[in-house]
Structure formats: C-alpha cells, structure tokens
A and B are shown apart, each in its own frame.
Chain A
Amino acid sequence: MIDVRQVTKYYGSFRAVNNLSFSIEKGEIVGLLGPNGAGKTTTMRMITGYLEPTSGTIEIAGETIAQNPRGVKRKIGYLPESAPLYNDMLVLDYLTYAARIQGVEDLDYVLSTAKTCGLYTVMHKGVGELSRGYRQRVGLAYAMLHDPEILVLDEPTSGLDPNQIIEVRNLIKEVGREKTVIISTHILPEVEMLCDRVIIVSDGVIAADEKTSQLQVKYGHSASLRVAVGSASFAELEQRMKAVDGVESVAKADIDEAGLTAVLVGFRDGAEIRPGVSKAVADAGWPLYEMAMQKNTLEDVFRDLTLGGAK
C-alpha cells in the first residue's frame, strides 16, 4: 500500500531523514515512534505529498504523487500535527468545503463522520472558538470524511485530556479495522494499545521496525532483576553479581534509603539467576533488602534505541 524507498530529505544542509525505507501493507496500523526532531513529521509530510523527498521515491498503491497528484492524494486522509484549521469558518462549512474538494457528493456520509467524531453539537460554531480537543476532532473528521484507504495521523492525541485521548484512540481503533493507518506519537502506551507494528526513527534513520509484540523480545532484555543490599559498595556488588551464571550486565540503580546500594541486573533470556544472586549476597554476608523482577517496558526499548542512535 505504501512503499517508501531510500528516501532522504534535506532542509538546506540539514538532513532530516536519511535513506529511509519501509513498506506498509493494506490494513496495518503502524506507529511511527521517535523523539522530537527524529524525522517523524517530515516522513509523514512526504507520504502525504506536502513535501517532496530530496531523493528516493514514495509509492502509494503503486503510484507516486508526481504521477497522479489528485488521485493519490484522494486516497489519503491526513491530520497534520496540531490540526491547523481555517479559524474563520464554521465547522459545518469547513467540512463541506473539504468534502467538495474531495469530490464527496454524499452529504450524509460527511454528517455521519462528523457524528462519529462527536461534532454534532458544534457544527454551527466557528472553528476558531473551539477548544483544543474539538479542533483535534474536526481535524480527524476532516481526514476521514472522504473515506480514504490510508489515514496519516500526526500526533492525534497530543493536547487532549485523558477522556478525549481514550475517545480518539477508540475511534482510531475502530477506523483502523478497515484502513491502513500510520500514527506518529511519542506516547508509548498508545503504540502498544493501537499499533500492530512499530517503526522507531531516530536522527532520520530507522532504529527498529518490528511487530509491537516482538519489539521487547528482540531488543533489550525482556526483564531485569533489581537488587538492593546493605553495607556494600557498588563496585563490590557489581563484582559479585557479574560472577553469577547468566548475568550479562549490572547497572547502578537509584535508591532513596541511605546506606543501601541498588543495582539493576540484566541477564540472558531464559536464564534463572535469582537463586545464584541470593546465594552470592548471602555468601558475601550482606543483608538483602530488596530483590524484584522488573518487566522491561517499551519505554526502556525506546530509550535504548533512540539514545544509542544519538551517540
């Protein structure tokens, strides 16, 4: 459905996106993840035709925007970052304006989209008077009112309150059953909740491209063991921990209580290190205050991948 091939984008001499390649199948919901300035918005702008890549090609259902600007753009529904809208129009006028340009002749479809997005009560209000949440919904309705095959949503839940976030997520989930969706976000639980697949970009390159469920397994340890003991220095503890069979890494962890030392022990997948760790602590004669298994979240994976890329 969407084929991005070796796409590079320069702004002047600044390279925002570097040799990016990925392809998205029909029906997938893909999360584009990355820290601010990683190239998410630039990538989305290139997919929707607002920007043209400096080099490389983007094909939407086998065609580029340059080959068929009207036809390809009609396949896409786009919600730009922070939903820019014409503030001097009424919501109804804005939606019918977009419908006319999209060639939608069925007004009932437009109205039912507005209803789905919860806009029925504000149809006759000026766009400029709307709150942040309603603006975002107008942007969503606008993106969907021509029933596009592809939805490109740039940070669809930013600036919304928790209730609105849940509403918008449910909406996307519902719509996403039939459509191909690309969402950019830096809210990680959102990705876990919505997306089948995650593409992590960092400094304009892809740091990871995986099924959401595979990401944690493949990158970083799926769990680590937190150990806190008394009357030992970090160096001593580290040395003892490293000697335990299966341990791969030992990192200093924060602890509030004075006199205690805490470490985060990473280990080989599938290895059981707890008996070894407790024995090592007991052998050294340190009192054990804490030993807990921590499941690594997507956030840890994200940190690993994006901070690693920055080095």
Chain B
Amino acid sequence: MKFTIDIKKRPSWLVIALREVSSFFFSPVAYIVMALFLAITGFLFFSTFFLYNQASMRPFFSLLPILFAFFIPAMTMRLFADEKRTGTMEVLLTLPVTGRDVVMGKFAGSVVSIAVLLLPTLAYPLTISLVGELDPGVVAGGYIGSLFLGSAFAAVGIFASVQTDNQIIAFVTGFVICAALVFINSFLVLLPPGVVKFFSYISAGAHFENIARGVLDSRDFIYFISLSALFLLRTIIIVDDRRNA
C-alpha cells in the first residue's frame, strides 16, 4: 500500500490555520454554532423585514455586531484555552514556530470559519432579490465589512482565550469586550462631552453602522484593522513571553 499525501512546504502559520479550520469543522460545536446563528439571524431579520417593506439588507447588518459579539467569542474561546488545559500548548510552542506563526495561524483559521458562518446567510439577499430590487454593491460592501468586523472580534476572542485555560472564562471575557465595543455609542449621551469623540471613535457599533448603511469609508476599515492588530499584537507578546509563562 502506498500513501499519497502532499506534504510540500507551507509556511507554519498556514499549517496551523488549516489544522484549526479542520479541527473546528470536525467537532459538532461548529454545526451547533452555525445552526443557531442561522436560526437567530433568520428569525430576527425576517420578522422585521416585511414591516420595513423595503428590499434592503440593512436590518440584517444592523443585527450583526451584537450577534457577532456573542458567536465569535464562542468560536474562538477554545483556541488557546483548550491547548493550555490539555497541555498541547507545550507541544505547539516547542515546534519550530514563533508566537507570530501561532497567533496568526489561529487568527487566519478563525477568519475562514467566520466566512463559512456567513456563507449560508447569502440566501437572504438572494431571496430578497427575487421579490425586490436589491443594490448588489451595498450588499457586497456589507459582507466585506462584516468580515472585517468578524476578524476584529476574532482577535478579541483570541486575546481572551490566551488569558486562561478555562473556555467559559475565555468566552465571557471575549463577549464582554466585544459587547462593550458594540454598545459604547448607545451610551454616549451619558458621557461628558470632552470624551464623546474619543468613545465614539473606539466604538465598533458606530463604525459598522456606516457599513450597514452601505457607506464604505476607509476610516471604518482602518478602525477594524487597527482593532485586530492591537489585540493580535498583545496576544503575540503574551505567547512569546516564556519567562512568565
């Protein structure tokens, strides 16, 4: 018997990302999360869709930040917490990889999983376009923005996961940070005027609102990229700090 397996050279982060993706879809958790996500978005979206009487995906995209704040930390909670709990962290970090390979691999894997999570929701715009005129540009922009929002929340979730070996704690930490980022702009009226501008800028909700409306502004994308970079860099520093591990 002869095996034919392609093990040609790939960068380490990609090998780690592929393992994470296959491990995610190997477990039943992936399908529970996806089914739940579809059920909730489907219900919340279509229950208001006919009231608006508009061929628009805006109600869907407006829901997304808070749903992502819940679902994405649930997807990323195991990434480091589980490796720490089972001891495989020791195996992973003694392989010829750096903290950057590990964190970027897990991040890339999460982004792919989030894309797969969003994929079935494409049925909504397809259905709507059957009954009304939908602007494809706005929808495409919304989906691209959603992926950026999801990536930023995945970075937050990974950061939460590296703090602990308990998945529940990782989930709650990730959820609290993401929810805070979503809701800050709802509380702006309560804040002193001097800091409103600052908090409005760091609010994920405010930035995603533009995207949900169909306005693609580079500043919003820069915000999501910065948010991802901030949490990923912090995570890399924690993973690479073997002195206090």
Contact = CB atoms under 8 A, between A and B. Distances in A.
Nearest to A99: B7
Contact of A73 (B5, B22, B95): B95
Interface in A47-98: 48-54, 69-71, 73-74, 76, 78, 80, 82, 84-89, 92-93, 96-98
Interface size class of A (residues with CB under 8 A): 35 or more
B23 A89 contact: yes
A97 B15 contact: yes
A51 B245 contact: yes
Contacts of A88: 23, 26-27
A103 interface: yes
Residue of B15, B91, B97 with most partner-chain A CB within 10 A: B91
B10 A100 contact: yes
A243 interface: no
Contact of A100 (B15, B23, B88, B91): B15
A105 B94 contact: no
Given A54-B243, A85-B88, A89-B23, A78 B94 contact: yes
Contacts of B94: 48-50, 73, 76, 78, 80
Interface string A95-119: 0111111111101001100000000
11 contacts: A48-B94, A51-B242, A52-B245, A70-B96, A84-B90, A92-B3, A100-B10, A103-B9, A103-B96, A107-B7, A111-B3
Given A49-B94, A82-B87, A96 B19 contact: no
A5 interface: no
Contacts of B219: none
Interface string B18-39: 0100110011000000000000
Contact of B97 (A52, A70, A93, A110): A70
A179 interface: no
